[in-house]
Amino acid sequence: MALLGTVTVRGAEDNDTTVINNARKVVVIAGDSLQQIRVMGREGDDSYVYRNTIQLVDSNYVSEQRTYRELNAIGWSVGKKNDAWRSHAITLHFGLGVSLPTAVPGEYKMRPFKSFEGMLWLQYDYTPKKRLQTYSVGLGFTARGYGLRDDQMFNKDADGVTGLGLYPENTANRRSRISVYSLSIPFFFTQKFGQKSHVKLTLGPVLNINGGSINSYFEKDDRDYDYTIHKIGIRPVTVDLMAVLRYYGVGLYFKYSPMSVFKSGRGPQFHALSLGVYF
């Protein structure tokens, strides 16, 4: 049940009075031994929540009151959403997945579980009034790694070309990967499947401004060796095509870049493909 205007709530025993002006929504739940009144929103504070529970115990009334604000850890509204306003929101998103590079030259033995992707970005979302479509633009950070089997390592030669190198003899705990770090700008279109549906499909390109390095590690003669090589010829700007299928706040994502990770003539010409979970 929804009420408009001013809501006045009186305590059952001590006659305390709580006045809530311009409540957005009032819900009354009544039972044989329990009554609960919940008021959501008030003048100037849409996140305000007042809850009063009255329970009949041995012919006496026990009243419990609670006031709090509803917060959403993933997204929060920055505009009103009613008949007079459009919906605007700022949302925070996190994704974690596995990199599965495609078109990899045959001599490179990349391993999926040594290759990863992580992303964290902030989005502005715009949903027209009473529509099922949302338009978004964001800004954030993406990290990707492409790992080799432990019998291979990445290296950069004297001409600045990234290729394969050899570990020193009698080494252990070897690992080598290409790390790519990106400033990411997603442009998304989201379709919701019905006003009461919790299923959403998001599609769109992601613009990446990239940098990268070679990171190699091994142990030899009880000593640790950790190498980082910069300026390896990563393509500075790339575009990914991304899709996310979400149910409630949890989704699965797929992302592919039609552009190679390295500049032409600066390294192996493979393409980035990844999939994982998205929140």
pLDDT averaged over the chain? 84
Helix, strand or coil, per DSSP, at residue 197: coil
| pLDDT, position 214 | 97
Domain ranges of the chain: 6-69, 75-278
Cβ-count burial of 38 within 10 angstroms (0-12 exposed, 13-18 middle, 19+ buried)?
middle
Q: Let me know the angle formed at the C-alpha of 67 by 61 and 72, rounded to the nearest 5 degrees.
A: 135
pLDDT, one tens digit per residue, over 13-39 is 445 677 778 777 887 777 666 777 888
Give the dihedral sign, CA 279/89/70/2. Answer: negative
Domain 6-69: state its class.
mainly beta
What is the Cα Rg of the chain in Å? 28
Report the pLDDT averaged over residues 134-151: 96
Torsion angle (degrees, nearest 10) of CA 105, 108, 109, 112: -70
Smallest CA-to-CA distance from 114 within 102, 96, 98 is with 98
- The length of the chain is 279
Beta carbons of 161 and 179 less than 8 angstroms apart: no
Residue 121 has pLDDT above 80, yes or no: yes
Residue 85 has pLDDT above 90, yes or no: no
| pLDDT, position 13 | 43
39/37 Cα distance (integer angstroms): 7
pTM: 0.69
The owner of tokens 């994502």 is 253
Q: Which residue has the higher pLDDT, 93 or 50?
A: 93
Residue 58 has pLDDT above 80, yes or no: no
| pLDDT, position 75 | 46
